[in-house]
Structures are given as C-alpha cells and as structure tokens.
Amino acid sequence: MSSKCALITGITGQDGSYLSEWLLGQGYEVHGIVRRVALEDPEHRLSRLKAIRGRLKLHAASLESYASIHRVIHEVQPDECYHLAAQSFVSYSFDDEFSTLNTNINGTHFLLSAVKTLAPQCRFYFAGSSEMFGMAETVPQNESTPFHPRSSYGISKVAGFDLTRNYREAYGLYACNGILFNHESPRRGFEFVTRKITSGVAAILAGKSTQLSLGNLEAQRDWGHAREYVEGMWLMLQQPQPDDYVIATGECHSVREFVELAFAHVGLDYTRYLTTDPELHRPAEVNLLKGDASKARKVLGWTHRVKFADLVREMVDEDCRALGII
Ligand code: F7E
C-alpha cells in the first residue's frame, strides 16, 4: 500500500469521483480542489462523493485564480496531480468561447506553473480529449494522429496538451497527457448525450415524459466506461518515463445505436418517442471518433473490459432505479 498524496482538480465530477475511489483503494491520501460554492451546497454539488466524503480533504480554490492554486499546491505538496477540471461540455463552448478558452487554458497553465515552482517532483496528469482530433484525417486515431479541433473546447484541450508537453520538455516535469475518448457511466452529467438518453428512457418508462429530443443521431463515438478510464490515468503516472497515451475501446457506435439499445433494453421502440431538433446540432460537428489504444495496452497494460451494450444497460438500469421503477 502506498502513502502517497494525490491532488485532483474536478474531483466532484464523474471522473474525479471514480479516480478518488481508485486512489483511496490504493492507499493514497486524496485531496481535491473544489469551488467554494460546492462546500456551501454539499448535498447537490458533492453528491458523487457522498460515500467517500469523510476520507477526502477538500480545498476551496478556483482555477481562475493563480493565487488560490498556488496556496493549495504549497499546502498539499502532492506526489501526483490529476488535472481533470474543465468546462467540458462541447455544445456550451460554442455559446461561450471566451470563458471556455480562458478557464481551460489558464487553469492548466496556472496549475503547471505552480507545480513547477512549488512541487517539481510532483507527477502531473492532464485530461486531454479525443475532441482534439476533431475532423481527423485518419481512422482510428492514435498518439501520432494530427489534431484538428472543431470547437473552442477542443482548441482549449490542444493548448493544454501542448502546455503539458512543453513543461515536460522544457522543465523536466513528469507530465503526461491522457487522450481519453468518450467515457460514460451512471455518474455522467445529464447534459451529455448518453445520460440524456438513459435518463430520458427512464422518465418515459415512469410516465413522466413522452418524448426524447436529440440533435445529430448519426455522429459516431468510441464510448467506454469511466471507471476503467481513470485506471488508465493512474497507470500513466506509475511509469519510469512520462508520455502521452490514447485511452479508448477501439469500437464506435452512432448516437442512434445508443438510443435504439437503451429503449430496447426496457422493451420500448425508440421510433415512437424520438424527435430531432435542429437547434441541438452543433455549428461544427465531429462526425466520427474511434481510438487506437494499442500503446496503452502495450506499455501500461491497460485494457477496457465493459462492453458497449453493458454500459448502455447499466446506465438505463441506474436511471430507472433512481426513479424507483425497477
Ligand atoms: O455528444 C451528439 C453530439 O455531448 C456526443 C465530453 O466529455 O467526450 C464528450 O464530448 C455526440 C455529439 O459528448 C445530442 O452532436 C446528438 O456528436 O455526449 P456529448 P462529446 O461532445 O463527444 C469528449 C471526449 C470530451 O472530452 C468532452 O468533454 O452526440 N448529440 N444529440 C448530442 N449531444 C448532446 N450533448 N445532446 C444532444 O441532444
């Protein structure tokens, strides 16, 4: 068992909660950066951490304030830092490019700079994204595929990726980029398409709703289970040398397939409930993402285990359970 100390930004989110559980299981002391409002409204904002809240050390700080980040790094002196926090909803990034770019890029820069100054031995993980590939030239995408982001979110992640690599090359920081493809779970936020679908199916089954309205049904994504993806993050920081890795299943499915399977799981025909809304289409869409995680498999020994259909079923079941209908 380890007595290492880890600091997580974005600890209240889907990935932050799974990563915290994983690290606690490995014997880590786990610290998290949260916004002050989260501490003031724990019932709502710390809901994913409910079961482990007493074992975590949470620090109020903002990724928009270098002073607050500096204070936390100084106090915690982490051995490992997992930078997961971001404005991560792609659609929103079209509505507010400025705050997406400011928060995501500056937040990463502030954190890297504070780590370099105050805890240079700390191993750093940056949550890169398959959205960096955007309109990719080749399928599947791996660590050598050129980036062509299609949203300010994707652009902010490319900047974070470059900053992280530059701190590794220029200052010798042990800094890694994870290029994670879509990863989902019952803890996914309701604004993302998978959870919108599974919570929508549960609401229809419970008689609380009569339809589900979506945007582009033909977009294809490589969807894995978030619980497994956080293990990939941790593995990246346990290697002799820092590097960048794609984490993905290598399988892709359309939004329509996800919908069909989710409805079919509870015995419903999706064509009776699904409507499409042009307002939900993005100004620049990413049509097809499919990852090649062979480097992670080979070097990290990481593999995905949960199959697409099982992921869909688990998410539908959990949403049905939350409404008391199974
Ligand atoms: O959209 C289409 C939408 O919002 C998936 C984030 O975690 O993964 C995520 O980004 C697809 C897109 O995720 C609706 O147009 C159709 O093609 O679930 P999403 P995303 O944009 O792929 C990457 C790896 C990240 O890094 C991001 O942070 O589904 N779609 N109809 C819809 N999407 C949404 N949200 N809502 C719809 O009604």
What was the pLDDT predicted at 326? 85
Sheet containing 29-34: order of strands = 56-60, 29-34, 5-9, 80-83, 123-129, 175-180, 244-247
Phi, psi dihedral angles at 84 (to 5 degrees)? -105, -20
Question: Which residues are within 8 A (CB) of 130 and not within 5 positions of it... i.e. 6 or more apart?
Answer: 141, 179, 180, 181, 182, 222, 246, 248, 289, 291
What whole-number distance in Å separates Cα of residue 190 and Cα of residue 198?
9
Superfamily of domain 5-183+223-247 in the CATH hierarchy: NAD(P)-binding Rossmann-like Domain (3.40.50.720)
Ligand 1, pocket-test mutation among 193, 217, 274, most atoms within 8 A of CB: 193
Q: Which token pair is 286?
A: 């990413």
3-class SS shares of the chain: helix, strand, coil, % to 5: 50, 15, 35
Core vs surface per residue 50-66: b (16+ CB within 10 A) or e: eeeeeebebbebbbeeb
**Is this prediction's pTM over 0.75?**
yes
265 alpha carbon – ligand 1 mean position (Å): 22
What was the pLDDT predicted at 32? 98
Residue spans of the domains in the chain: they are 5-183+223-247, 190-221+252-293+306-322
193 alpha carbon – ligand 1 mean position (Å): 5
Contact status, residue 78 vs residue 52, Cβ threshold 8 Å: no
- Kindly report the protein residue whose alpha carbon is nearest to atom 27 of ligand 1: 88
Active site residues: 129, 131, 153
Helix (H) or strand (E) holding 221: strand 220-221
pLDDT tens per residue, range 260-271: 999 999 999 999
Which stretches of the chain score pLDDT less than 50?
none
Residues near ligand 1 (Cβ within 6 A): 88, 90-91, 129-131, 181-182, 191-194, 196, 214-216, 219, 221, 255, 280, 282, 285-286
What whole-number distance in Å separates Cα of residue 118 and Cα of residue 115?
5
Q: Are strands 212-214 and 274-276 parallel, antiparallel or unpaired?
A: parallel
Reference 225, options 295, 309, 296; nearest CA is: 309
Ligand 1, pocket-test mutation among 182, 223, 260, most atoms within 8 A of CB: 182
What was the pLDDT predicted at 220? 98
The DSSP call for residue 141 is: B
- Kindly report the protein residue whose alpha carbon is nearest to atom 24 of ligand 1: 182
Q: Are strands 244-247 and 224-225 parallel, antiparallel or unpaired?
A: unpaired
Ligand 1 atom nearest to CA at 194: 18
The DSSP call for residue 179 is: E
- Kindly report the protein residue whose alpha carbon is nearest to atom 1 of ligand 1: 193
What whole-number distance in Å separates Cα of residue 313 and Cα of residue 324?
16
Ligand 1 atom nearest to CA at 276: 31
Amino acid at 254: S
When the pLDDT of each residue in the chain is averaged and rounded to a whole number, the result is 97
The alpha carbon of 171 is separated from its chain's Cα centroid by a whole number of angstroms, namely 27
Q: What is the CA radius of gyration of the chain?
A: 19
What whole-number distance in Å separates Cα of residue 28 and Cα of residue 26?
6
Domains 5-183+223-247 and 190-221+252-293+306-322 share a fold: no
Helix (H) or strand (E) holding 213: strand 212-214
* Architecture (CATH level 2) of domain 190-221+252-293+306-322: Alpha-Beta Complex (3.90)
- Kindly report the protein residue whose alpha carbon is nearest to atom 21 of ligand 1: 90
